[in-house]
Amino acid sequence: MSRVAYVNGRYVPHNDAMVHVEDRGYQFADGVYEVAAVIRGRLIDEEPHLDRLDRSLRELRIAAPMARPALKVVMREVVRRNRLKTGLLYLQVTRGVARRDHPFPKNAAPALVVTAKRLGLPGQKAIEDGVKIITIPDVRWERCDIKTIALLPNVLGKQQAREAGAFEAWQVRDGMVTEGTSTNAWIITQDGELVTREASHAILNGITRLTILKLAEREGLKFVERSFSVDEARRAREAFISSATSFVTPVTQVDQQVIGNGKAGSFTLRLRQAYEAYTAGEGATA
Ligand code: PDD
């Protein structure tokens, strides 16, 4: 089954999907993006992803490429044309094509690309084994709340993790964990309290993060939004990461420290289950 991409008004074979060499995304990383999960052919948390896209665009003063209802049609069409059941939808908006010059161009129209990618879901054993995390300095800029396509520190951090045999790197600023390179970071303390860093300019306010907080509240779980240190993470009872593509993924090692008994903890598994139920129901849009 060949892949299809949407590029500036046209649906094209994925291999032929191209943008101009003077697209400002290509030259300046002058753009924003979203990644939404597709499960059973349905988009997960579509409205919150589009709300965050609007916010990112506003922060960078890039015009919306089209009105939301039209954008939703394009997103559905990309899912449909790719016959996507399980995977992700990638959406990118840049300031458009213009002769290379740093200030905003006067007449560029925002450029929109939407692609789809198939993904397999991990099996039960992989979930129970969890993943390993390393910690690295957070060298990013001070507006990590904007989902920009400028991801070089994230790319370098993820590569460092992979070379260390880890799945993700938690970035650390002033001794406190900010977030992963493409995920939010969570711990469950020895007292059984769920902890994740509060939303601020220091982290991306993950859509999965927001959903998990909502589910935790609904399930009557004890939680707090605050910073935690690397040391606290190493002493945690449980830990996990969240994102549109990893959902709730247990963490069983932070640097050299095994977390809990080295297997996914019960609190984390309960949240993963709640999240899966959410994606099968109210979180999915037709
Ligand atoms: N990453 N923090 C960072 C730095 C991220 O890049 C992401 C998402 C998250 C989690 O956000 P959400 O729950 O909305 O996916 C947190 C996406 C998946 C990516 O870059 O592929």
Dihedral angle sign, alpha carbons of residues 46, 268, 56, 4: negative
DSSP class of residue 14? G
Q: Establish whether 72 is a catalytic residue.
A: no
Q: Cite the DSSP H helix spans in the chain.
A: 24-28, 46-60, 68-81, 124-129, 152-163, 207-218, 230-234, 266-280
Residue whose CA lies nearest to ligand 1 atom number 1: 182
The stretch 58-65 carries a mean pLDDT of 98
Task: Give 221-280 pLDDT, tens digit per residue.
Answer: 999 999 999 999 999 999 999 999 999 999 999 999 999 999 999 999 999 999 999 999
The stretch 116-129 carries a mean pLDDT of 95
Task: Give 19-51 pLDDT, tens digit per residue.
Answer: 999 999 999 999 999 999 999 999 999 999 999
Phi then psi for 278, rounded to 5 degrees? -60, -40
**Of 209, 218, 283, nearest to 246 (Cα)?**
209
Residue pointed to by tokens 């002493």:
235
The atom of ligand 1 lying closest to the CA of 181 is 4
Distance 78 CA to ligand 1 centre (A): 21
Percentage of the residues of the chain whose pLDDT score is greater than 70: 100
Residues 65, 93: contact at Cβ < 8 Å? yes
Does residue 245's CB lie within 6 angstroms of at least one atom of ligand 1?
yes
Distance 146 CA to ligand 1 centre (A): 11
* Reported confidence tier of residue 1, pLDDT bands at 50, 70, 90: low
Q: Which of 117, 125, 147, 222 is labelled catalytic? A: 147
In this predicted structure, the answer to whether residue 215 has a pLDDT above a threshold of 80 is yes
The stretch 69-95 carries a mean pLDDT of 98
Q: DSSP per residue over 225-276, as a string?
A: E---BHHHHHT-SEEEEEETTTEEEEEEEETTEEPTTSS--HHHHHHHHHHH
Burial of 23 (0-12, 13-18, 19+ CB in 10 A): buried
